[in-house]
Amino acid sequence: MSSQAQNTDIVEHFDKNRAAEYDKDIVSFIPGYDLIHESNLAMFREKNLAKANVLVVGAGTGKESISLASGFREVNVTAVDPSKAMLESLKSKVNDLKLVNIDFICDYVANLKGESFNFANSILVMHFLPDRGEKLDYLREIYKRLEPMSELILVDFMKIEDECQDRAIMQAMKNYQLSISPSPEKIEEAHEKIKTNLHRITESRLFDLAEKAGFFKPIKFFQSFLIGGYILRK
């Protein structure tokens, strides 16, 4: 992966303070956050992979890693995240739950050695990477580590081609977030960050990148305002 794809600025954003608040804030910032993760689990269950190796890229504070590792004790989860603070939060939950089937790697996926995986997750991660080769490198690095026929579940903030519609849906999402959030200032702040930190792409661009990385055409399984969820099969 090119060094550009190692987005240290974003990793600094996921610092100790943000990690401490993340679980509380994310549910009002991502409409359907729990449903995304429940769907991910259901899709994994559908695969019937009793002894799978699962790669979780951008594991954060552990929502998907913990649900997979506690729901499927025979499965081994490799949780990868370059933010030490986010991974520390995940580790402390794993200790409390006494889970033994999660490995932690504080790094970028491109630096993973050796292993191959039967299922992978990239949930709310790739939108932080610019689209000047970084997103493609990121998808290729995941692709390389997957067994044939395995799936990557990818969820990102997307962009709608028509700018007017894009703005309208962004505003509608904000209205919704403000209606459920206990902290309107945090929603305002998060919307500023969407402008500066996220590199949203259209669905057709995602399909193009997925194909270039080697995946079959993605299948959409989730949509909530601008957040889209896709299955990418190798």
Ligand X SMILES: C[S@@+](CC[C@H](N)C(=O)[O-])C[C@H]1O[C@@H](n2cnc3c(N)ncnc32)[C@H](O)[C@@H]1O
Q: 211 with 168: CB under 8 angstroms?
A: no
Among the residue ranges 56-64, 162-170, 178-186, 205-213, the one whose residues contact ligand X (CB under 6 A): 56-64
DSSP annotation of 51 reads T
Residue 108 binds ligand X, judged by CB under 6 A? yes
The residue at minimum Cβ distance from ligand X is 60
> What's the CA gap between 212 and 208, in Å, rounded?
6
Q: 226 with 158: CB under 8 angstroms?
A: yes
Among 53, 60, 68, 173, binds ligand X (CB under 6 A): 60
Among the residue ranges 5-13, 41-49, 176-184, 223-231, the one whose residues contact ligand X (CB under 6 A): 5-13
CB of 40 to ligand X, least distance (A): 9
**Nearest to ligand X of 24, 50 (CB atom):** 24
What is the β-pairing status of strands 146-159 and 227-233?
antiparallel
Residue 10 binds ligand X, judged by CB under 6 A? yes
Q: Which residues contact 208 (CB under 8 A, 6 or more apart)?
A: none
Residue 125 binds ligand X, judged by CB under 6 A? yes
Task: Tell which positions 191-220 bind ligand X, by CB under 6 A.
Answer: none
What is the chain's length? 234
Residue 141 binds ligand X, judged by CB under 6 A? no
> What's the CA gap between 18 and 153, in Å, rounded?
25
Q: What backbone torsions phi and psi does residue 207 show, to the nearest 5 degrees?
A: -60, -40
**Nearest to ligand X of 125, 170 (CB atom):** 125
Among 66, 69, 81, 173, binds ligand X (CB under 6 A): 81
**Nearest to ligand X of 13, 205 (CB atom):** 13
> What's the CA gap between 95 and 16, in Å, rounded?
18
Q: Hey, what's the torsion of the CAs at 8, 154, 71, 25, to 10 degrees?
A: 60
Residue 86 binds ligand X, judged by CB under 6 A? yes
Q: Which residues contact 50 (CB under 8 A, 6 or more apart)?
A: 72, 74, 75
Residue 29 binds ligand X, judged by CB under 6 A? no
CB of 3 to ligand X, least distance (A): 11
Among the residue ranges 55-63, 167-175, 184-192, 222-230, the one whose residues contact ligand X (CB under 6 A): 55-63
Among the residue ranges 57-65, 88-96, 180-188, 191-199, the one whose residues contact ligand X (CB under 6 A): 57-65
Angle between helices 163-180 and 184-197 (to 10 degrees): 150
Give ∠ CA 25-128-33 in degrees, rounded to 5: 35
Residue 63 binds ligand X, judged by CB under 6 A? yes
Binding residues for ligand X (CB under 6 A): 7, 10-11, 14, 26, 57-60, 63-64, 81-83, 86, 108-109, 123-125, 128-129
